[in-house]
Structure 1
Amino acid sequence: MNAEEPQGSAARRTGARAAKAAGILRAGGPRALAQRLARHAFHRLHDPSLDEPLLDGDVADSTRLNLATPERRPLRSEQLRIGWVTTPPRAGSGGHTTLFRMVEAVERAGHRCELFLYDRYGGDVREHERVIRGWWPNIGAGVHDASAGISGVDASVASSWDTAHVLARRGTAPMRRLYFIQDFEPFFYARGSMYALAEDTYRFGFRCIALGEMVAELLRSEVGIAPDTTEFGCDTSVYRLLPGRARTGVVAYARPDVPRRGYWLARLALEQFHGLHPEIDIHMYGAEINGLPFPVAQHGRLTPAELNELYNRSIAGLAMSFTNISLVAEEMLAAGAIPVVNDSSHSRADLVNGHVAWANPTPHGIAAALGDVVARADRDAAARSASESVRPFGWTKAQSDVVRILEDEVYGS
C-alpha cells in the first residue's frame, strides 16, 4: 500500500459524508440535518451506564438477602413512622400522584410519613422537595436523600423496581418492608438485564400490594407470589362533566420516551384517522412533538383541571398502556370522553366498563375504533352515560386498603 492510499480513502469517506449531509439537508431541511448530527454525537459520546437506573452498589440479589425486622411490634395505640422510597417526581407525574394519595391516607390515619428520594444522578434534594410541595401540597411527609440511608422508621414502602433494590441495599436497619406495585415493571423492558433485575425484586420478601388485578395475576403467574390486591380509583372531584362544552375533537397522551404508552402506534393511528376524518380536531398533551404529518393542537403539560377541560371538549381519547391499565381511561370516562384502549384480557380485568372502546393494538385497529366513536350520532348522551358509569368512591377504597395492610404488617394481626 503506498502512502497516498489512506489519504485517498479518507477523502472518499469525507466526500461521502458531505454528500449524505447534503441529501439530508435537501430532503428534511436544516432541522433534520441538525438532528442527524446530534444523534451521531450522542452515539459517539454516550456512556451506556447512564441509562442504568441504579448505581452498581445499589443492585440487590434476592438469593443473598437477609434483612432484619424489629424484635417487637408496636402497640396499636402507638403512632407509626412510615418511609416511602421513590424516585424524584416530575411535575404532575401520574405514578407519583397515585403513590402520594396513599401517603396522604396514611398521614390522615394518624401516622407520620417520610419520603426517601433516590436520585441516581445526585440531584439536589431541596429542588426535588420544591416540586413535591408545589404539586402535592396535601402531604406533610419529610423529604430525605435515600443515599444517606433509610432508617428511623417502623416500615418502608418501595414504589418501583429500582427503589425496591435501594430499600434492600440501603434500608438494612430493622424494619418491616412493603412494595406498592403499580405496573408489572419487567414489561418495561426487552428480555435482558433490566427485565431480570426488575423481576427479581418480587422475590425480595417484601409484602407486595398490587394495584389492580392485572398486576396481581402477573405476579401470581410469572413469579409465583400471592400479593395483597387493591383497585384503581378516579378523582371525580376533578374529572367530571362541565356544562356548555362542545365536543369537537379527539385527544391523545403523548410520551414518546415511554414505550409502554404506545406513542408510535398512536401516532400511526392518528395519521390514518385524520385521513378518514379530517374534520375532527386532534389534540395532544404530555410531550410536544415536532414534525407530525397531520395537524394537531399541542397542549404540553397540563394541570388536572386543565386536562379535565380538554377532555370535556373531546369526543374520544387514546388511553394506551401495555403494563397496566392507564388511569387516563377512567379519567376520560368521568369527563365524558370515550377512551379507546388497547385490548387485552389483563386490561379488561381492571377496566370493567361498557363504555370503553377496546381496540386491536395496530394502527388500523386504533384508527377504526376512534372512527366508530366519532361517527356516533348520540355523542352527548354517550358522554353523560360514560360519566355516570364511573365509580363514585374515588381512591378511598385503595387508600383504606393500603392503610389496613400497612398497619397489619407492622402491628401484626
Structure 2
Amino acid sequence: MAASTLGSTLSSVRLQIDRRARQISRLLATQGYRTVVDRARLKVSEWIKPRSFAWDVFPDDVTSADLIRPALPSSPNIAASEPMVINWVMGPAGPGSGGHTTISRVLNYLQDKGHTNRVYFYDPYCGDHKYYEMLAREHYGMTCEIGNARAGMSDAHAVLATGWPSAYGVYNARCAGKRFYFIQDYEPYFYPVGTNSVLAENTYRMGFHGITAGRWLADKLAREFGMDTDYFPFGCDTTRYRRDPSTERSGVVFYARLGTPRRAVELGLLALELFAKRQPQIEVHIFGNDFGDLPFKFTNHGLVSPDKLNEIYNTCFAGLTLSLTNVSLVPYEMLASGCIPIVNDADHNRVVLDNPSVRYASLTPHSLAAALEDVICARDFESVSREAATSVASRSWDTAGATVEKALRRALMANNQFRPRHSA
C-alpha cells in the first residue's frame, strides 16, 4: 500500500474514532451510561439481524390464495337448534396473550353451551406443537381437540380465522364450513407500510364474515372493504378486577408494552416524566415490560398476574393506557378496580369504550400529564372511583360469548340452502 493511501486511511480512522469519542462523551454527560449501552446493543443487533425477509405466514399460502378466482367451500346446513361445530385457526401463544385470552373466553363459553370446538394451530415458525398445546390447556383453559392446520382440518359448520396469517390458511383450506374472521384489531397497522401490511390488508378481501371486537372495527371493515360484519362488546372479568374500598390510593399506573408500538409507550413515558416533576409525591407504577433507568422515580412491576394487577390498580388514582388502534382490555380492568383510565382521544377508543368514567386527552405529553393531574386533584375521588367501578359491574364475557354465538348462528342460518323436506 502506498504511503499516501495508508496515511489517508489512518486519517479517516482517527476522524471516526474522534467523532465517536465525542458522541459517547456527550451521551454520558447528558443521558448516562445506560444510553450508551443501549445504543451499542442496537448497533450490534443491526449487524447480526437476518438479511432475508421474515415471513409471518407460509409463503405458499400467499401464492395459493387467488383472490381473483376464489374457491367456494361447501357449507353444511344447520338446523335452528342444532349445536354448531366450529374450527378455530390461530397462531400458538405463550402465557399472557390478550388476544388469545379473549379467544379462549369466547371459545369456552361456546363449549359450555354445547357446541363443538376444535383448535388448529397455524404456525409458520414451526414451534413445538406439544408445548403450545400444553400452554393452551394450562393457561387458556382449552379442553377441546387441538390440531395442526397444515395437516388438514375436519369439516365444520364454521371455520374461523383469528389473525391475518391464519386467514390465508383458512382461505386455502379444503374442509367444508362457512368462513368467518374473528378480528380483534386492524392488523395492517401493526407494520410499517410494506409487504406485511399489504398481506394483512388483503385478508379483508377474502369474503369472510367478520366478527369483531367492538363496533369501530366492524364499521371500518364494512365501510372500507365491504365485509359483512358483526361485533361483540368487550367484557370485563369483575370477579378478578374489583374495587377494594379499604385500600389507600397513592399513585398512578402505566400500561407499557415496548414490543407493541401501537400502545405509544414512548409518549406515555414522556407524559409520566412531566407528571412526576409536577406531582413528585405521587407514586408511579409501570407494568407490562421491565425497564431500566428512567428520568423519574417509579416502581417497575414488569409482567404481572391478573391478581397482582388488581392490587396495583387499587393503589392508584388513575392509569395511563394508550392505543393507536383498537383499544385494549386494560381500561375496563382499571374501571372495575376504581382506577380512572386516561386514554388518548380517538374515535376508535371512544366508540368501543363508550363509558362516561373514561378520561380522554390529546396524544401529547403535556395533555396526558394534565389529565392525570385532574384525576388526582378531584374533590371527591371516592365518589368518582365508585362510579367507575359501577359503570362496568354488569359487563361480562358471557355477554360477549352470547353475542358471538348469535352472530355465528345467524350467518349460518342465512347461508343454508333450501332443501325440501319429505315426511315419512
1:98 aligned partner = 102
2:421 aligned partner = none
State yes or no: 1:64 paired with 2:63. Answer: no
Q: 1:143 aligns with which of 124, 146, 150?
A: 146
1:300 aligned partner = 302
2:6 aligned partner = 7
1:254 aligned partner = 256
Mapped partners of 1:8, 1:227: distance in 2 = 70
Farther-moved stretch of structure 1 (244-253 vs 35-44): 35-44
TM-score scaled by structure 2? 0.89
1:157 aligned partner = 160
2:113 aligned partner = 109
2:422 aligned partner = none
Deviation at 1:400, TM superposition (A): 0.8
Contact 1:256 1:263 in 2 (8 A): yes
The correspondence of residues 66-85 of structure 1 with structure 2, limited to 5 A, is 66-70=70-74, 72-75=76-79, 79-85=83-89
Q: 5+ unaligned residues in a row in structure 2: which ranges?
A: 417-424
Contact 1:250 1:316 in 2 (8 A): yes
State the Cα RMSD in Å: 2.3
Distance 1:72-1:103 versus aligned 2 partners, 3 A rule? closer
Distance 1:192-1:71 versus aligned 2 partners, 3 A rule? closer
Amino acid at match of 1:111: H
Amino acid at match of 2:167: A
Percent identity of paired positions between Structure 1 and Structure 2: 36
1:36 aligned partner = 39
SS at match of 2:87: strand
Distance 1:62-1:344 versus aligned 2 partners, 3 A rule? farther
Deviation at 1:20, TM superposition (A): 4.8
For this pair of structures, how many residues does the alignment match? 410
Amino acid at match of 1:3: A
SS at match of 2:375: helix
TM-score scaled by structure 1? 0.91
Mapped partners of 2:138, 2:316: distance in 1 = 29
SS at match of 2:106: helix
Mapped partners of 1:227, 1:180: distance in 2 = 10
Mapped partners of 1:166, 1:221: distance in 2 = 25
State yes or no: 1:388 paired with 2:387. Answer: no
Distance 1:375-1:9 versus aligned 2 partners, 3 A rule? farther
Q: 2:57 aligns with which of 45, 50, 54?
A: 54
1:309 aligned partner = 311
Amino acid at match of 2:372: L
Mapped partners of 1:352, 1:260: distance in 2 = 20
Contact 1:161 1:185 in 2 (8 A): yes
1:334 aligned partner = 336
- Deviation string 1:303-362 (CA, Å, 9 cap, x unpaired) is 111111111111000121111122111111110000000002332122222211110111
SS at match of 2:290: coil
Contact 1:184 1:218 in 2 (8 A): no
Q: 2:127 aligns with which of 96, 105, 123?
A: 123
2:419 aligned partner = none
Contact 1:109 1:403 in 2 (8 A): no
Farther-moved stretch of structure 1 (77-86 vs 105-114): 77-86
Mapped partners of 2:342, 2:66: distance in 1 = 39
Q: 5+ unaligned residues in a row in structure 1: which ranges?
A: none
2:326 aligned partner = 324
SS at match of 2:302: coil
- Deviation string 1:348-382 (CA, Å, 9 cap, x unpaired) is 12222221111011111111111111111212221
Contact 1:248 1:313 in 2 (8 A): yes
Contact 2:159 2:178 in 1 (8 A): yes
1:219 aligned partner = 221
2:402 aligned partner = 400
1:132 aligned partner = 136
Amino acid at match of 2:38: Q
Mapped partners of 1:88, 1:373: distance in 2 = 40
Mapped partners of 1:14, 1:119: distance in 2 = 47
- Deviation string 1:361-413 (CA, Å, 9 cap, x unpaired) is 11111111111111112122211111011151412222012112223444556
